[in-house]
Structure 1
Amino acid sequence: MSRFSGEDTVARKFVIAFSAMFIIPMLLSTYLFIEYVDAVRRDWLQLTLFSASVAVLGTGGFFLCRSVVQALLKATRDASAIAGGDLDRRMDTNVEGEISELARNFNRITGRLQQTIDNLQSSKTQIQTLLSQVCVSFGQNVDMSNMFEVFLRSLLTLTGLEVGAIFLLSPDGRELSLCASVGLKEELRGTVVRQGKGIVGWVATHGQLVTTSESMPWGRPDMLTPLEKSMPWAIHIPLRTSEKTRGVMSIGLAAGQREITGEDLLTVQNLATQMAVAVENAELKESMEKTYVETVSALATAVEARDKYTRGHSKRVTEFAVEIAVRMDLPEAFVRDLESAALLHDIGKIGIPDHILHNSGALPPDGLQFVLAHPMGGENILKPVGSLGRLCPIVRHHHERYDGEGYPDRLRGEEIPLAARILSVADSFDAMISDRAYKRTRTKEEAMEELARCRGAQFDPHCVDVFLSYLQENSEAGILCIS
């Protein structure tokens, strides 16, 4: 509606302008010619020539004004289309004069606007990819260094830079250790920088960004680390939040690149701030989880202290389970989780009443349900802490049997988590060689024979074989537990 109103306005102005410029002067000239020129001097030839001249000028003026108005109307329609979002539209430059120059300038503006929008869209896509990769890293069971490496790779791809390194400040604040890097030589990946030394140390101490180049090198080249010397063109940004520096991110420019755009620098600074927040949150989360684990461990110790026959049981089971996992050449992260789960595997016994826990004979009528429920009780205690959720299946299933006759879910074979199968062997062996009120203590050899007898029925055969091999190679293992 507005477009047609604009065109109508231009058309009306054209009528008024043409009338003012040609029709009114023509009529006035004709009147003066007829009224004031002497009839003697006036003849029909002169009148004809005068009329023809006025007609030619009027016609020429009409078409001249018409061409200008048509060009303006088309430019108006093109501008309206561009304003409506059609950035592929361009104004017609095949006109004369200033309108053509105006159209060319307008097209240049539109082209730059289109390029800016394309760049923003590309940046948006890259940032979404970056955030997606980082979120995936957080969702997986990976340590902070792996998450930082994903973050760093995505950042370098986003900005078109080449080399990057992230240093984190040690808990005592004395040094910065390289925790993640991309594009660095192998010999530089173990770099440690003292607080206040070199560029990285200075940035960590003062919390200020530093840029270096071949024309503007660091003032104390003798204090630079080999890593800093390998990046003559670089940006060093503090990872700072809550008035505390958590580390430093160093970004090296690509070969031949001599500067970083203001937009990319702003992106790097913003992402560095977000990374600092991530470090702070991770430290807070780790602290809270450590406190929780210490509390739960203290409770587990308290549970064992309630029964003199089970004191030290979890610690011994943990040592056995870790030995089995290491001999099976399982990943370090797996071994760490198994170690934590083994320490806490009987935490569910907190809910077992003393008259059942200390019972030396047959279980009372309500005793069996408490005993069978303790793996699930342990799971429920650990579940509220997100990072300990991965330990829950191990704790829940450490009393399953390989033949499917265990509890609480009667899983069988490889349906049982491997860590739970390992824990079952270690737990049962320690129970056999330990003094308990309801059974006699077995010797190491008797316990080993029982493990071999139940191989494939109660226990995973491979786990049993690995553990028996360890016990045979270490004559003192399994004996110190009963001393």
Structure 2
Amino acid sequence: MKLDELRKRMASFDSKNSDVNDIYEELEASYQQLLAISEQLSNTENQYGLLIQNMSDIVWIADTNGEIRYINSIASDILGYQTCEMIGRKLYEFMCPLHEYKVGSCQSVVSLMNEVEFKRMEMWMLHSDGNTRKVLEVNTRHIIFDDEIVEIQGVGRDITDRIQIERRIHQKNKQMQFIRDISASINQNMSLNNLDQLISDTCKNIVTTVNVPLCTARLIDENGNLWLKAAFGRYKNEISQEALHSSDIYLKSVVNDHEPILITADSSLAATTEVKRVFKNGKIKNLLILPLNTNEATVGIMAIGVDGEYDDDYTPLFVSLANNLAFAVEKSRLYQNLKSFYLDIIMTLVAAMEAKDTYTQGHSLRVSEYSVKIAKEMGLPKSDIEEIEIAGILHDVGKIGISDAI
């Protein structure tokens, strides 16, 4: 081979070697760049995973059949399950089967996730203890590949405490409305007949509003006998229709000390037979007896029976209702006394009128009597009948001012 040709080939090799070196340097730079990107992605993934694991919300990924493929560890704190206990199982298996959804069963709710993405959906879950219910506010998102839903990602925030607070507020508002309604009834009704109806309505509303199985009310007479005025609830037949006497150890305490007392099934052994009768069949576990206190005395009692543990949070409500009833009793009795005094004055006027004209003696009372009978036959309201009764008595009262000479 000639020297010149060899030199040309060497020059060609040097040129190609230079190109190879350039390519190698580019590949090396690309490799280093890929390593940096990979490390950055790894760090980002670790940070994202750490963020997910430390979130206060439950994050899960499920397939289109509702089978859990991933769930973060906060589920253990909220639901009591380890992640390994949940992965591979259906999401609806951890939902509370007693809760009623508009779409139907728990399985129907999970199936619906394939059709729509949930926005702030309330999902009722069941804790691993089998008793505690947890409420999650759930948002879901479809994970799509090749125009098909392949997975469902969900985020659930524990709002159990908020739901409980909202329910308490609703219950308190309901109770306050109940008290306002009773107060309005007391202000509108003063007669003894209306009082009986008011006592009956109060006991009935306590049973329905507070969901207790028994509520009774009794008024005390001058001999210390407590007469039953109303009884409502599932166990009203357990109540004695006879008068109770305030000499009973518990009733005496309530009447004399003017304070409510809670009697349990065990402590009722010291009570009289009539009081123990409430606990006879073992249905009532606790009985709260409240005094109907006025400014001067206790005018009666109200009893609330429950078939489980008694909730002290209801005591202020019951005390308020008992005080309202006591006020109604006092108001009614004052009204009756005033009405009696008013009728005495009317009868005095009638007597003076008839003394002046003996010819028509008894006429006013007879007119009043016949007028009342006609009014009742016509079905007029009681208030109108009372006015007609008085009008019949007084229809000739003008005679008092007429001279005897006429």
TM-score (structure 2 length as normaliser): 0.54
Q: 2:260, 2:185 → 1: CA distance?
A: 30
- C-alpha change, 1:157 and 1:309, in structure 2 (3 Å) is same
Offset, 1:173: 5.5
| Conserved 8 A contact 1:165-1:249 | yes
**CA deviation map 1:324-382 (0-9, x unaligned):** 679x9999x96x98688445524254456734x6464xxxxxxxxxxxxxxxxxxxxxx
Q: 1:122, 1:144 → 2: CA distance?
A: 27
- The code of the aligned residue for 1:237 comes to L
Offset, 1:165: 1.6
What are the equivalent positions in structure 2 for 1:194-233 lying under 5 Å apart? 194-221=245-272, 224=275, 226=277, 233=286
Match of 1:168 in 2: 219
Match of 2:323 in 1: 273
2:267 matches 1:285: no
How many corresponding residue pairs?
288
**CA deviation map 1:380-405 (0-9, x unaligned):** xxxxxxxxxxxxxxxxxxxxxxxxxx
- C-alpha change, 1:218 and 1:235, in structure 2 (3 Å) is farther
| Conserved 8 A contact 2:371-2:388 | no
Q: 2:279, 2:395 → 1: CA distance?
A: 52
Match of 2:202 in 1: 151
Match of 2:295 in 1: 242
Offset, 1:201: 4.0
Q: 1:117 aligns with which of 166, 188, 193?
A: 166
| Conserved 8 A contact 2:240-2:274 | no
SS at match of 2:266: coil
**CA deviation map 1:387-446 (0-9, x unaligned):** xxxxxxxxxxxxxxxxxxxxxxxxxxxxxxxxxxxxxxxxxxxxxxxxxxxxxxxxxxxx
- C-alpha change, 1:359 and 1:309, in structure 2 (3 Å) is farther
Match of 1:345 in 2: 392
User: RMSD of the alignment, in Å?
Assistant: 4.8
SS at match of 1:260: coil
Q: 2:311, 2:326 → 1: CA distance?
A: 22
**CA deviation map 1:94-117 (0-9, x unaligned):** 9xxxxxxxx86xx33x23322432
Match of 1:354 in 2: 401
| Conserved 8 A contact 1:126-1:158 | yes
| Conserved 8 A contact 2:364-2:395 | no
| Conserved 8 A contact 2:185-2:198 | no
Higher strand proportion (structure 1 or 2): 2
Match of 2:137 in 1: 90
Q: 1:93, 1:232 → 2: CA distance?
A: 46
Match of 1:57 in 2: 39
**CA deviation map 1:227-275 (0-9, x unaligned):** 676766322111113252121012222xxx2222233333222222222
Unaligned runs of 5+ in 2: 1-23, 58-119, 123-135, 142-154
Q: 1:139, 1:284 → 2: CA distance?
A: 15
SS at match of 1:161: coil
Match of 1:16 in 2: none
What are the equivalent positions in structure 2 for 1:358-373 lying under 5 Å apart? 358=404, 360=406
- C-alpha change, 1:202 and 1:330, in structure 2 (3 Å) is farther
Higher helix proportion (structure 1 or 2): 1
SS at match of 2:326: helix
- If asked which structure has higher relative contact order (CA below 8 Å, sep 6+), I would say 2
The sequence identity of aligned pairs, in percent, is 17
Offset, 1:156: 0.8
